[in-house]
Structure 1
């Protein structure tokens, strides 16, 4: 229901204390409708392997490169 989407977005913006600039609500609503189906992916359980910080080697980041 398009009206429900708009009410949900307005409520979420109000909870976050966000007041969109004039003329931006249509774009925000379109983005909200596109991103909402992805929420289950964001809120799903994750293990340590899914943490991006685990993909870097501290030695590679701190190695002196002859500078």
Structure 2
């Protein structure tokens, strides 16, 4: 796989829109990461409940416990 033959038009457009110019030899790694991310999107974009967000959960017992 070489940088000159394996290009993804979608990735090229996103990089151009973001104003990112990749150093020589980096396109292949970025392309592989981009392709992996695109495969994960269906999993990442599923509906979730508030309980699935750890930053939004707490234990009332922890908040109200007496200090030693």
TM range (shorter): 0.5 to 0.7
The CA deviation string for residues 17-42 of structure 1, in whole angstroms up to 9 with x for no partner, is 32222210011111112221100111
**Could you tell me which of 33, 36, 40 is aligned with 1:34?**
36
Aligned residues: 59
**Unmatched 5+ stretches in structure 1:** none
Q: Which runs of 5+ in 2 are unaligned?
A: 1-5
- TM-score (ref. length: structure 2): 0.61
Q: How large is the Cα RMSD of the aligned pairs?
A: 2.8
Of Structure 1 and Structure 2, which has the larger fraction of its residues in helix? 1
